[in-house]
Amino acid sequence: MALHPNAEFMQRTMAAVASGDIPTFLAAMSDDIAWHMPGDNQLAGAYHGKDEFRRLMTKIRDLSGGTFKMAVHDITASDDHAVNIERVTASRDGRQLDIVVALVLRIKDGKITEVWEHFFDFKAWDDFWS
């Protein structure tokens, strides 16, 4: 059975991210992307546009000393959305992060327009970035 086109799109996009190809990830986003990061920590908030998202990614990289990694477990998609289930790991100040995250992505006209992050362990996420 063939994958939904949005699942194929997300597989290619997330493979680029995993390999460190952030320009390909940014090219997959609409210019006015909205990225929602829940929680009670210094990363929590809503980020609008590629520039704000780029600043978020730089902050994550800097705070984790470049150790932040993600690995996709599964992707499912429909005409309007995709859901990525990922394992996220990082090190910071002697602490380790190893959690599962679900990204719910809105896709329109071949671009990611909005993303909501859902952490399976909010406390671990908040504690790590606080």
Q: Percent of the chain scored above 90 by pLDDT?
A: 90
Q: Which helix (H) or strand (E) element contains residue 113?
A: strand 111-119
pLDDT tens-digit series, residues 42-68:
999 999 999 999 999 999 999 999 999
Q: Copy the structure tokens of residue 82.
A: 């995709």
Whether 1 shows a pLDDT value over 80: the answer reads no
Domain edges within the chain: 5-129
Asked if 126 contacts 39 with a C-beta cutoff of 8 angstroms, the reply is yes
Fold of 5-129: Nuclear Transport Factor 2; Chain: A, (3.10.450)
Q: Give the pLDDT confidence of 102-129 residue by residue, as tens digits.
A: 999 999 999 999 999 999 999 999 999 9
Contacts of 125 by beta carbon, 8 Å cutoff, 6+ apart:
39, 41, 97, 99, 119
**Whole-prediction pTM value?**
0.93
Confidence class for position 22, pLDDT limits 50, 70, 90: confident
